[in-house]
Amino acid sequence: MKAYKEMGREELLALKEELESQYAAAKAKGLKLDMSRGKAASAQLDMEMDFLDTINSSSDVNTEAGVDCRNYGLLDGIPEAKKLMADMMGVLESQVIVCGNASLSIMYDTVARSMIFGVMGSTPWCKLDKVKFLCPVPGYDRHFAITEHFGIEMINIPMTEQGPDMDLVEQYVNNDPAVKGIWCVPKYSNPQGYTYSDETVRRFAALKPAASDFRIFWDNAYTIHFIYEEKDEELLEILTECEKAGNPDMVYEFCSTSKVTFPGGGISAIASSEGNLNFIKSAMTIQTIGYDKLNQLRHVRYFKDIKGMKEHMKKHAAIVRPKFEAVLDVLEKELGGLGLGTWTKPVGGYFISFETMEGCAKAVVEKCKEAGVVLTGAGATYPYKKDPRDSNIRLAPTFPSSEELSLATDLFVLCVKLVSAEKLLESKA
Amino acid sequence: MKAYKEMGREELLALKEELESQYAAAKAKGLKLDMSRGKAASAQLDMEMDFLDTINSSSDVNTEAGVDCRNYGLLDGIPEAKKLMADMMGVLESQVIVCGNASLSIMYDTVARSMIFGVMGSTPWCKLDKVKFLCPVPGYDRHFAITEHFGIEMINIPMTEQGPDMDLVEQYVNNDPAVKGIWCVPKYSNPQGYTYSDETVRRFAALKPAASDFRIFWDNAYTIHFIYEEKDEELLEILTECEKAGNPDMVYEFCSTSKVTFPGGGISAIASSEGNLNFIKSAMTIQTIGYDKLNQLRHVRYFKDIKGMKEHMKKHAAIVRPKFEAVLDVLEKELGGLGLGTWTKPVGGYFISFETMEGCAKAVVEKCKEAGVVLTGAGATYPYKKDPRDSNIRLAPTFPSSEELSLATDLFVLCVKLVSAEKLLESKA
């Protein structure tokens, strides 16, 4: 098919009319579908229901060292769970604290702690006139929500297929002492599915921050979340790189099992240097007597080790893969060559990142919604919900069933076409 | 036996010698016992192991309304769990948010949030020159640790059998705008086991705080933790009282199932007014996608309702009761009439509060420790760990086995006698 831009006004008008009648028909179907969040599908959760049988009334509830997981104690997690989460991140057991059901809460707490108590002895951020965070864009809306909530100024850093624009990152971090952090999803990034290159990781490790309390918030959310096992990408282990580069305390790494076991009932962890962990524990010991150790034990008993966990991820991939492929097929078939957008083709993670023509994203999302398909809000992938080009849309293919997904994607491409045609007509008006 | 104070110097010296030889013999036993924390005993946890069978691979994992508890969602808890926790506190379901495994974390978060964001629109506490909390004493060390951690000044308020000294509370709260909070354990208080009288609760509700952001931190930790079902005490429901008195937003109430199901794997809740809950949720929605709903569902399935929960508490009471009675029997038999201390006789909760002669608590705890019995640190029941009279010791009878408890209590009374004799001899020197 012909690229829309090459069409004349009359041709576009005719096309628009045709698309509008298709849209009216689609709307009449009364769809009610949600493609907005990176949620696991019921099929994924059903296949791991035996997770819930791993500790029962006849089970031994002690750790290997004999600690009763039902009772109080072990602030930083049971050793076996530390080992498992460490292996997920490729770090040492001694570099890990295991927490509750959500890594997002650890990130929130980490920012909150820095606001009130500073970072390893630095001035509390709430006492400073200005605190800034770098935000690779498009990125994860809940990261941006945390920094916005705390009144931290956010600066957009463009993403490339190798990771954030490191020239810009270096320029900010190495010169501006108000820059205290950067949000990163280094593997199968949200929403693109990009994995940071070795060079990117090494440049991160080699930063010379103007602020001694600058920290990289390394949200390794999708570390083992490959879609194609054989194409699983390698991410350089950043704690080691930072240590080598003389920046041992520069990173907080986060991960969780929210998309390994159950989104509502997983466990999470933070990995960092001894200095950071000690500082974190000094607050944690006031904050809690300890997290749910029974759920930590469930994970250890269910997976045994990281090998078991990766085997399990193959089952997730088997369910998720066809959904990604279905969406990508429709995008290619319906939009290929039309010049109406570009999109990523991830081999891991939970999202596809779609770029419309400039100024179309909001209208596309709105049109989808009108016809009963909820997408992630346009702009959500940018700080302050402001996408300067109004072009990024995050597609989350995992939650809907295959049938729903097909209906939703068909509507999506239709809306892209319609909004693009309208946009081009405007410029020809 | 004769009160020690009535003994002459020679008599005391002889007694001391005798006690010292008993102590040496006790020390030679090489005990290694822990009576320091309010931990449930293994026997309590063993009798409820079937709790772990309540959700398994063949279970329905949906709430009554059809929400999948394995997945994301329901920030403030599943409705059924809200109802259960509301009934524990005697409040409405709509007044409750259900959280993770520890009410301590909710309290910490509540103080942290007030520090950074203020309270329903008030100035963030971290921007103020001085923030003060009233601390009924003796009280719960972890409460005091939170306020100390945040640099909040703590003011001792003496406890009576009816609750905190309300004249003093009114004087501070109604006149000093820097007073932003008070820590309360209103039922079976930690460590005394006192329950606030109706008059105390009504006077709390009728406070006229100088600070609009003053809040009562009502830690209803032992609300259904009776030792004698037939003597279970009634606590007036404070949210209703506050509403009646025109102070609807004045209270945060906390509770948990840490000592109902598993200390390491329970659920917790906060109850408050609509205004407070909305403000809390505005931060929670940034902080987390939701707490572990599977564990909430486990609780609902296991207990069915508050009646089931109270039936379950009878089983705990049956295990805990003989331990309290054993300690109280030894105290009465060994120390009765000697004038060496007073102690509470709780009908609920987890502790006995012991008052030595002035200036003896530290030495008693130290002597016990030397002979292998760890008690809660002397001073721990006071802000800044400073017991001005050095007389309060918190006894926690629940964790040790009956045999261990008997050994530990024998040693305790011996140490009280010995330290008291030494103290009296000093004054006669």
Taking the C-alpha atoms of residue A173 and residue A87, their distance in angstroms, rounded to an integer, is 30
> pLDDT tens for residues A27-85?
999 999 999 989 999 999 999 999 999 999 999 999 999 999 999 989 999 999 999 99
Q: How confident is the model at residue A264 (pLDDT cuts 50, 70, 90)?
A: confident
CA torsion angle for B412, B416, B417, B420 (degrees, to 10)? 170
Taking the C-alpha atoms of residue B350 and residue B347, their distance in angstroms, rounded to an integer, is 10
Q: Is A401 on the interface with B (CB under 8 A)?
A: no
Task: Find the helix packing angle between A274-287 and B103-117, rounded to 10°.
Answer: 100
The distance from CA B178 to its chain's CA centroid, rounded to whole angstroms, is: 25
> Mean pLDDT across chain A, nearest whole number?
96
Taking the C-alpha atoms of residue B100 and residue B76, their distance in angstroms, rounded to an integer, is 10
- Please give the residue of chain B at the shortest CA–CA distance from A399: B71
The complex scores an ipTM of: 0.95
Distance from CA of B66 to the nearest CA of A (A): 13
> pLDDT tens for residues A233-247?
999 999 999 999 999
Residues of chain B neighbouring A49 (CB-CB closer than 8 A): 56-58, 61
Q: In this prediction, what percent of chain B has a pLDDT beyond 70?
A: 100
| Residue among A80, A88, A40, A50 at smallest CA distance from A309 | A88
> pLDDT tens for residues A161-215?
999 999 999 999 999 999 999 999 999 999 999 999 999 999 999 999 999 999 9
Calculate mean pLDDT across residues A388-405: 95
Taking the C-alpha atoms of residue B384 and residue B367, their distance in angstroms, rounded to an integer, is 22
> pLDDT tens for residues B30-55?
999 999 989 999 999 999 999 999 99
> pLDDT tens for residues B267-298?
999 999 999 999 999 999 999 989 999 999 99
Paired residues of A271 in beta bridges: A96, A253
> pLDDT tens for residues B372-385?
999 999 999 999 99
Give this prediction's pTM: 0.96
Residues of chain A neighbouring B142 (CB-CB closer than 8 A): 286, 289
Taking the C-alpha atoms of residue A101 and residue A123, their distance in angstroms, rounded to an integer, is 30
* CB of B367 closer than 8 Å to CB of B336: no
CA torsion angle for A399, A401, A404, A408 (degrees, to 10)? 40
Helix (H) or strand (E) segment spanning residue A44: helix A42-46
For an interface test with A, the pick among B50, B51, B52, B103 (most A C-beta atoms closer than 10 Å) comes out as B52
Single-letter amino acid, residue A147: T
> Mean pLDDT across chain B, nearest whole number?
96
Q: Above 90 in pLDDT, residue B1?
A: no
Residues of chain B neighbouring A295 (CB-CB closer than 8 A): 265, 292, 295
The single-letter DSSP state of residue A233 is P
Report helix, strand or coil for B49. Answer: helix
Q: Is A393 on the interface with B (CB under 8 A)?
A: no
Q: Indicate if the alpha-carbon torsion angle A205, A207, A213, A215 is positive or negative.
A: negative
Residues of chain B neighbouring A146 (CB-CB closer than 8 A): 286-287
Paired residues of B184 in beta bridges: B218
- Please give the residue of chain A at the shortest CA–CA distance from B113: A112
- Taking only residues 19 to 48 of chain B, the set having a beta carbon closer than 8 angstroms to any beta carbon of chain A reads 37, 39-40, 42, 45
Q: Is A151 on the interface with B (CB under 8 A)?
A: no
Question: Structure tokens of B199?
Answer: 């008059």
Report helix, strand or coil for B154. Answer: strand
Distance from CA of A108 to the nearest CA of B (A): 6
| Partner residue opposite B50 with nearest CB, options A42, A57, A291 | A57
Count of A–B CB contacts within 8 Å? 157
| Partner residue opposite B52 with nearest CB, options A55, A264, A291 | A55
Taking the C-alpha atoms of residue A365 and residue A368, their distance in angstroms, rounded to an integer, is 5
> pLDDT tens for residues A289-307?
899 999 999 999 999 999 9
The single residue listed with the structure tokens 């049988």 is A53
Between chains, do A292 and B292 touch, taking CB under 8 Å as contact?
yes
> pLDDT tens for residues A99-154?
999 899 999 999 999 999 999 999 999 999 999 999 999 999 999 999 999 999 99
pLDDT given at position A427: 87
The single residue listed with the structure tokens 């309540």 is B54
Taking the C-alpha atoms of residue A427 and residue B149, their distance in angstroms, rounded to an integer, is 61
Q: How confident is the model at residue A428 (pLDDT cuts 50, 70, 90)?
A: confident
> pLDDT tens for residues B387-428?
999 999 999 999 999 899 999 999 999 999 999 999 999 988
Calculate mean pLDDT across residues B123-141: 97
> pLDDT tens for residues B89-111?
999 999 999 999 989 999 999 99
- Taking only residues 250 to 309 of chain B, the set having a beta carbon closer than 8 angstroms to any beta carbon of chain A reads 258, 262-265, 283, 286-295
Helix (H) or strand (E) segment spanning residue B133: strand B132-137
* CB of A381 closer than 8 Å to CB of A392: yes
Q: How confident is the model at residue B429 (pLDDT cuts 50, 70, 90)?
A: confident
The single residue listed with the structure tokens 């406070």 is B207
Task: Burial-class residue A50 by CB neighbours within 10 Å (0-12, 13-18, 19+).
Answer: exposed
> pLDDT tens for residues B299-314?
999 999 999 999 999 9
| Partner residue opposite B104 with nearest CB, options A101, A288, A295 | A288
Q: Above 80 in pLDDT, residue A420?
A: yes
Q: How confident is the model at residue B231 (pLDDT cuts 50, 70, 90)?
A: very high
The single-letter DSSP state of residue A176 is -
Q: Above 80 in pLDDT, residue A429?
A: no
For an interface test with A, the pick among B42, B55, B72, B302 (most A C-beta atoms closer than 10 Å) comes out as B72
pLDDT given at position B70: 96
